[in-house]
Amino acid sequence: MTSTGYTLVIGDKNFSSWSLRPWLAMKHCSIPFAEERIRLRQPDSKPEILRHSPAGKVPALKTRLGVIFESLAILEYLAERHPEHALWPLDEEARAAARSLASEMHAGFATLRNEMSMDLLGRLPSPLVSAALEADIRRIAAIWKDARARFGKGGPFLFGAFSNADAMYAPVATRFRTYGVDLSRFGDDGTAAAYADAILALPAMEDWTEGAQREVKQRSAG
Say yes or no: 76 and 133 in one domain.
Answer: no
Q: Are residues 112 and 148 both part of a single domain?
A: yes
Centroid of chain to Cα 61: 15
Comparing CA positions, the residue from 24, 69, 4 lying closest to residue 212 is 24
**Residues shown for the chain:** 222
2-28, pLDDT tens digit by residue?
667 999 999 999 999 999 999 999 999
Q: Are 127 and 175 in contact (CB under 8 A)?
A: no
Q: How many CA atoms lie within 13 A of 179 on its CB side?
A: 20
Give a yes or no: residue 213 inside a domain.
no
211 domain residue, yes or no: no
**Predicted TM-score of the model (pTM):** 0.95
133 is in which domain, residue-wise? 92-203
Over the stretch 36-47, which tens digit does the pLDDT of each residue have? 999 998 899 999
Are 63 and 106 within one domain?
no
The answer to whether 56 and 50 have CB atoms below 8 angstroms apart is: yes
- Asked, for residue 2, whether it belongs to a domain, the answer is no
Residues 74 and 101 in one domain: no
| pLDDT in the model for residue 2 | 62
CATH number, domain of 19, equals: 3.40.30.10
**CATH number of the domain residue 150 falls in:** 1.20.1050.10
Each residue's pLDDT, cut to its tens digit, for the chain (222 residues) gives: 566 799 999 999 999 999 999 999 999 999 999 999 999 988 999 999 999 988 889 999 999 999 999 999 999 999 999 999 999 999 999 999 999 999 999 999 999 999 999 999 999 999 999 999 999 999 999 999 999 999 999 999 999 999 999 999 999 999 999 999 999 999 999 999 999 999 999 999 999 999 999 999 988 886
CA dihedral 5, 209, 76, 117 (to 10 degrees): -130
Query: Are 14 and 81 part of one and the same domain?
Result: yes
- The answer to whether residue 216 is domain-embedded is no
Same domain flag for 42 and 121: no
For position 4, what pLDDT does the model report? 73
DSSP structural state of residue 29: T
Domain count, the chain: 2
Indicate the residue among 60, 85, 110 that finishes a domain. Answer: 85
> Are 114 and 192 in a shared domain?
yes
Q: Are residues 27 and 62 in the same domain?
A: yes
